[in-house]
Amino acid sequence: MTNSFRFRAASREQTIAALLRIGDLPYAPSTIEALDRERRRPALDAEAVTAATSSDPALLAKILWAANRPDRGAPREAATASHAAALLGADELERIASAISLAAPFLPVEERLVDVVRFRRSSVLTALLSRRIAEDLGRRRSGEAYAAGLLADVGALLVAGVFPEAGVEALESGDAPERAERDRLGATSAEIAAFLLNLWNLPSSLVETTLLRDRPGDATTDPELTAIVHMATVVARSVGETGYALERDLDLDASIVDTLRLGGERYLHDLTRSYRDLALGADAA
């Protein structure tokens, strides 16, 4: 049976129309299992639900969407899972956990596009590095950096889970990834993800980082956050962590020297190497 939540896109308009109908991203099977366990407990452990978001971009996006919904009358300010959980409360978290574990659409991820294990590992590493860089640079909201890092590649989940046919066509075209995505989807995976996160009313800083992580010099809402996630992504990819077949090559953008007040490109590259060593050490451990 064809899943009604999967679409074949041939134009930007069709892609947007499909995104307007999406209520869930592809969740990791382990996430659904964890939420099902929580649902069966006499009392929901809100901390356990929040903890599950730390390794699943789809669940994090869902929790942030729920907390930032316009009908709640709250500004778009919940940028971390803990903040979102505090706004939602235990009853609403229980409702979300039950809905996902009982009724979330099964969205199989196209394996030719996304290696689920590597993708999840890459997302978590990028999030951890983003938080570490933010802390080292004295940024107060390091939790927001973690969330931004975890969501940075959520577009890959959208392409592989919602637009798999178009994604495979892009992969098999032999064109450069960005051009291949545009030709088959009318937009890049980053643009698709940013459109959806904005539609879901997530904070502008997270939307911008998702869109401009590869082009941090274009950021205006929170250039520092985008620069941090850019650096974290470059480091993660340098140690071989990426699970998306259409990922394009990414070099350090020299503009982040000024954005992060690093003093010079040599220091930037030395700092990046130190985080690469840290990432390799964590992977070896």
- The reply to whether 9 falls in a domain is no
Other CB atoms within a 10 A radius of the CB of residue 202 amount to 25
Residue 80 pLDDT: 94
- The reply to whether 170 falls in a domain is yes
Residue 268 shares a structural domain with residue 157: yes
Which segments of the chain does DSSP mark as H helices, in order? Answer: 12-19, 29-40, 46-52, 57-68, 81-103, 116-136, 142-151, 154-162, 164-173, 177-185, 189-199, 204-212, 223-238, 256-259, 265-284
Residue 135 shares a structural domain with residue 235: yes
Residue 103 pLDDT: 63
Whether residue 45 has pLDDT greater than 60: yes
- The reply to whether 3 falls in a domain is no
Question: Which phi and psi angles does 114 have, rounded to 5°?
Answer: -135, 125
CA R_g for the chain: 18
Segment 59-83, tens digit of pLDDT:
999 999 999 988 877 677 899 999 9
Residue found under tokens 């308009």: 13
Alpha-carbon gap, residue 171 to 101, rounded angstroms: 32
Whether residue 12 has pLDDT greater than 90: no
**Cβ contacts of 244 within 8 Å, gap of 6 or more:** 113, 114, 119, 153, 156, 159, 160, 189
Q: Are 161 and 26 in contact (CB under 8 A)?
A: yes
Q: Which DSSP letter does residue 101 get? A: H
- Percent of the chain topping pLDDT 90: 59
Residue 58 shares a structural domain with residue 159: no
**Would you state the structure tokens that stand for residue 81, as one six-digit string?**
């899972």
Segment 154-200, tens digit of pLDDT:
999 999 988 999 999 999 999 999 999 999 988 899 999 999 999 99
Residue 112 pLDDT: 94
**Range 20-38 average pLDDT:** 85
Domain boundary among 74, 103, 132: 103
- The reply to whether 109 falls in a domain is no
Residue 80 shares a structural domain with residue 121: no
Segment 226-274, tens digit of pLDDT:
999 999 999 999 888 788 999 888 899 999 999 999 989 999 999 999 9
pLDDT grade, residue 104 (50/70/90)?
A: low
**Range 93-120 average pLDDT:** 83
Average pLDDT, the chain: 87
Domain boundary among 76, 103, 130: 103
- The reply to whether 157 falls in a domain is yes
Residue 186 shares a structural domain with residue 264: yes
- The reply to whether 84 falls in a domain is yes
B/e letters for 16-55, b = 16+ CB within 10 Å, e = fewer, are bebbeebebbbbbeebbebbeebbeeeebebeebbebbeb
For residue 153, the enclosing domain spans 116-284
- Give me the CATH number covering residue 157: 1.10.3210.10
- The reply to whether 14 falls in a domain is no
Residue 141 shares a structural domain with residue 232: yes
pLDDT grade, residue 275 (50/70/90)?
A: very high
Residue 85 shares a structural domain with residue 133: no
Residue 88 shares a structural domain with residue 127: no
Domain count, the chain: 2
**Range 125-135 average pLDDT:** 96
How far from the centroid of its chain's Cα atoms is residue 87's Cα? 21
